Chains A and B, each alone.
Chain A
Amino acid sequence: MAKAGDKSSSSGKKSLKRKAAAEELQEAAGAGDVATESGVQPPKAAAFPPGFSISEIKNKERRHLMFTRWKQQQRKEKLAAKKKLKKEREALGDKAPPKPVPKTIDNQRVYDETTVDPNDEEVAYDEATDEFASYFNKQTSPKILITTSDRPHGRTVRLCEQLSTVIPNSHVYYRRGLALKKIIPQCIARDFTDLIVINEDRKTPNGLILSHLPGPTAHFMSSVRLRKEIKRRGKDPTEHIPEIILNNFTTRLGHSIGRMFASLFPHNPQFIGRQVATFHNQRDYIFFRFHRYIFRSEKKVGIQELGPRFTLKLRSLQKGTFDSKYGEYEWVHKPREMDTSRRKFHL
């Protein structure tokens, strides 16, 4: 009966809440009376604040109304609290406590035990004698073969051409139905150091296999934006050798991948060209950008983006050359095991 009364009286806007509260009080009082008759202690806490929640109202329009009112009230309270805090900070002036740093996923990253310590001897020895050692000791200079999966479409072909302008000393060859395992011995015989294969799916490039020829092979998933699609870009890159920036490759796996990217470019960057290629790793995604920079003064730089822009995500790192069936994997991305925490990254 009390419930029927509630429904009939619900029509207004502001008064509804107070009426509802009043009726709840009456209900609670009634219930309390009944309870005393039966011999149980009256529930005093049910009187104020009311024990009901907005989600228990069955009528959708009324529930929505109550919710919007509650939300408005919350917003008011929050604004008032902010103003109060601001006033306090101004009042204190210099003595105010520093602003708290907001939490971001990058801030909260779970500490990875494989993070490389720069002073670590064992890792330093491992890196000094791995397959990239001959590049880093300046014994070999890179020569790269860029190719695609079979029968590439327009976007992929243009991406290959643009990549070959970005990476010096690279050659593009079309794949006419040749098996990769047969290409690889021929590449090694002709002194190529790296092989890049761009995989295509439904007329867009979607994967990249980067294979250092005697050594590791990395397989990436990617997304691409071609040169003509980049707004406000500069003119085409020149033949100068670019500088390279590798950002944020902290773990042991990240180090290996970073070294792989570094071994694509020759050692001697020509600063006259003022071009720079950046591989920036954030949250396990590697962003590739190619810019031309100019220093207007000591601290001001102007940059122009040239060249293709793409994003890579590592799927697997294999120890030998490309052999997906019988090769040994050094690292494989397993989504169900590795992606369980939003704050854990591997690169």
Chain B
Amino acid sequence: MAAAAARWNHVWVGTETGILKGVNLQRKQAANFTAGGQPRREEAVSALCWGTGGETQILVGCADRTVKHFSTEDGIFQGQRHCPGGEGTFRGLAQADGTLITCVDSGILRVWHDKDKDTSSDPLLELRVGPGVCRMRQDPAHPHVVATGGKENALKIWDLQGSEEPVFRAKNVRNDWLDLRVPIWDQDIQFLPGSQKLVTCTGYHQVRVYDPASPQRRPVLETTYGEYPLTAMTLTPGGNSVIVGNTHGQLAEIDLRQGRLLGCLKGLAGSVRGLQCHPSKPLLASCGLDRVLRIHRIQNPRGLEHKVYLKSQLNCLLLSGRDNWEDEPQEPQEPNKVPLEDTETDELWASLEAAAKRKLSDLEQTQGALQTRRRKKKRPGSTSP
């Protein structure tokens, strides 16, 4: 039951105890999935990303340097691979053209062949990014371009098909008003769609925009928010603003055109660990150390939509980007019921006289319309029963 319903989960959350939780907001249920049956703290989930084939597979990066494949259709872990090399947990996980890209804390970025799911083969490509990496992010428009950044590790953009040197290496801002060097701590990176720009948020509560296309390597725009380190960031559907979260649980929306604060979101009590916006709807999912997953609505009106208490500390999340949010509960039931009804009613109507044919045609049309609509949504290849 849980396995069958797993595909309809709206949010997938990884915890510090190694459990992957799938949350269905429509039915307000949360289900736990573990690889070994028992939660283990050594398998704390540190990175999540979608696998191949749309949103049917999830790649789960754990603290013991294994990447597990989880299928949302079946609701089970299908396999895992060990990705050795370097020290520390995964800071970034990405998938491109049948290859797996991983980056660990000590700065070893490796590209693995994804075909052998169980055996650990040698990496296809290895890059040294520099120690203290906090985030590695893949460009959604160009899957072979990744960006990395961390503590005292400036932002670098790498092209995995190109040379071993970074394509773009950011320069630190000028010394501050006391003529002291400004320290670097890039906590999260996002690629802005439609252009080559990148946004980063730092542990020194700054939000910066870099443009590799422009001649200057310094940030094009810099703003600050709050007094605490910013830990997570996500882009809003409009593309003009970002939402950042800090270690005190404060969420803020910052406009990137002018660099000003648009508004804040209330509710979180602990450090924000994961943030993601829906690509089309104005919804934001946030998770943190206070063990609660929250879904906020960003615009008209700004506020909390759902709040789900999940008993472990949450590390990262994945929000499904699909549009048919509300239709979920009906779909699993209909394919069972409709074929039966069809055969019975067909026989019934066939036995009736011609006077009833008008009703028959109407009903058949509506049923046929429903069927085709459902079929188009779910199984495009199948024929009518």
Interface residues of A (CB under 8 A from B): 113-114, 120, 122-123, 125-126, 129, 252, 319, 325-332, 334, 337-338
Kindly identify which residue among B39, B248, B266 contacts A125, using a CB–CB cutoff of 8 Å: B39
17 contacts between A and B (CB under 8 A): A114-B309, A122-B17, A122-B311, A122-B312, A126-B17, A129-B41, A252-B291, A319-B271, A326-B229, A328-B247, A328-B270, A329-B270, A330-B271, A332-B248, A332-B270, A334-B269, A337-B267
Nearest-CB residue, chain B, relative to A319: B289
The minimal Cβ–Cβ distance linking B369 to chain A, given in whole angstroms, is 42
Binary CB contact string for chain B from 1 to 32 against chain A (1 if under 8 A, 0 otherwise) = 00000000000000001010000000000001
Give bound CA distance, A126 to B267, whole Å. 24
| A331 in contact with B228 given A122-B311, A126-B17 (CB within 8 Å) | no
Residue contact A114 to B289, C-beta cutoff 8 Å: no
> Which residues of B lie under 8 Å from residue A331 when comparing CB positions?
269-270, 289-290
Additional A-B contact list (12), CB under 8 Å, known A329-B270, A329-B271: A113-B309, A114-B309, A122-B32, A125-B17, A126-B311, A126-B313, A327-B247, A329-B248, A330-B290, A330-B313, A331-B289, A337-B267
Give bound CA distance, A129 to B43, whole Å. 13
Give bound CA distance, A319 to B289, whole Å. 9
The minimal Cβ–Cβ distance linking B21 to chain A, given in whole angstroms, is 10
Most B C-beta atoms less than 10 A away, residue of A114, A325, A328: A328
Residue contact A126 to B312, C-beta cutoff 8 Å: yes
Residue contact A325 to B228, C-beta cutoff 8 Å: yes
The minimal Cβ–Cβ distance linking B43 to chain A, given in whole angstroms, is 12
The minimal Cβ–Cβ distance linking A41 to chain B, given in whole angstroms, is 46
| A123 in contact with B247 given A319-B271, A326-B229, A330-B271 (CB within 8 Å) | no
> Which residues of A lie under 8 Å from residue B203 when comparing CB positions?
326
Residue contact A129 to B270, C-beta cutoff 8 Å: no
CB of B150 closer than 8 Å to a CB of A: no
Residue contact A329 to B17, C-beta cutoff 8 Å: no
> Which residues of A lie under 8 Å from residue B311 when comparing CB positions?
120, 122-123, 126, 252
CB of B249 closer than 8 Å to a CB of A: yes
Interface residues of B (CB under 8 A from A): 17, 19, 32, 38-39, 41, 203, 227-229, 231, 247-249, 266-267, 269-271, 289-292, 309, 311-313
Residue contact B269 to A332, C-beta cutoff 8 Å: yes
> Which residues of B lie under 8 Å from residue A120 when comparing CB positions?
311
Give bound CA distance, A123 to B266, whole Å. 26
List of 3 A-B pairs having minimum Cβ-Cβ separation, nearest first:
A328-B271, A330-B289, A113-B309
Give bound CA distance, A188 to B231, whole Å. 28
The minimal Cβ–Cβ distance linking A336 to chain B, given in whole angstroms, is 8
Residue contact B267 to A330, C-beta cutoff 8 Å: no
Give bound CA distance, A252 to B38, whole Å. 21
Give bound CA distance, A229 to B266, whole Å. 43
Nearest-CB residue, chain B, relative to A112: B309
Query: Main SS of chain B's interface residues?
Result: loop
Nearest-CB residue, chain A, relative to B308: A113
> Which residues of B lie under 8 Å from residue A338 when comparing CB positions?
269
> Which residues of A lie under 8 Å from residue B39 when comparing CB positions?
122, 125
Q: Count the A-B residue pairs with Cβ separation under 8 angstroms: how many?
A: 61
The minimal Cβ–Cβ distance linking B20 to chain A, given in whole angstroms, is 13
The minimal Cβ–Cβ distance linking A324 to chain B, given in whole angstroms, is 9
Nearest-CB residue, chain B, relative to A128: B41
Give bound CA distance, A123 to B231, whole Å. 26
The minimal Cβ–Cβ distance linking A81 to chain B, given in whole angstroms, is 44
> Which residues of B lie under 8 Å from residue A325 when comparing CB positions?
227-228
Give bound CA distance, A129 to B289, whole Å. 16
Residue contact A129 to B17, C-beta cutoff 8 Å: yes
Residue contact B19 to A122, C-beta cutoff 8 Å: yes
> Which residues of A lie under 8 Å from residue B269 when comparing CB positions?
331-332, 334, 338
Nearest-CB residue, chain B, relative to A317: B270
| A328 in contact with B17 given A129-B41, A338-B269 (CB within 8 Å) | no
The minimal Cβ–Cβ distance linking B269 to chain A, given in whole angstroms, is 5
Most A C-beta atoms less than 10 A away, residue of B19, B38, B203, B290: B290
Most A C-beta atoms less than 10 A away, residue of B247, B267, B289, B291: B247
> Which residues of B lie under 8 Å from residue A319 when comparing CB positions?
271, 289
> Which residues of B lie under 8 Å from residue A113 when comparing CB positions?
309
Kindly identify which residue among A126, A129, A327, A337 contacts B266, using a CB–CB cutoff of 8 Å: A337
Residue contact B41 to A329, C-beta cutoff 8 Å: no
Nearest-CB residue, chain A, relative to B292: A114
Give bound CA distance, A319 to B266, whole Å. 21
Nearest-CB residue, chain A, relative to B32: A122
Give bound CA distance, A326 to B226, whole Å. 12
> Which residues of B lie under 8 Å from residue A328 when comparing CB positions?
231, 247, 270-271, 289
> Which residues of A lie under 8 Å from residue B266 when comparing CB positions?
337
> Which residues of B lie under 8 Å from residue A126 when comparing CB positions?
17, 311-313
Nearest-CB residue, chain A, relative to B266: A337
Give bound CA distance, A172 to B269, whole Å. 33
Nearest-CB residue, chain B, relative to A114: B309
> Which residues of B lie under 8 Å from residue A326 when comparing CB positions?
203, 228-229, 247
Give bound CA distance, A120 to B311, whole Å. 9
Give bound CA distance, A334 to B269, whole Å. 8
Give bound CA distance, A331 to B39, whole Å. 24
Nearest-CB residue, chain B, relative to A129: B41
Nearest-CB residue, chain B, relative to A125: B39
The minimal Cβ–Cβ distance linking A314 to chain B, given in whole angstroms, is 11
> Which residues of B lie under 8 Å from residue A332 when comparing CB positions?
248-249, 269-270
> Which residues of A lie under 8 Å from residue B248 when comparing CB positions?
329, 332
Give bound CA distance, A326 to B134, whole Å. 15
Give bound CA distance, A113 to B17, whole Å. 20
Give bound CA distance, A332 to B227, whole Å. 14
Nearest-CB residue, chain A, relative to B39: A125
Give bound CA distance, A106 to B312, whole Å. 27
> Which residues of A lie under 8 Å from residue B309 when comparing CB positions?
113-114
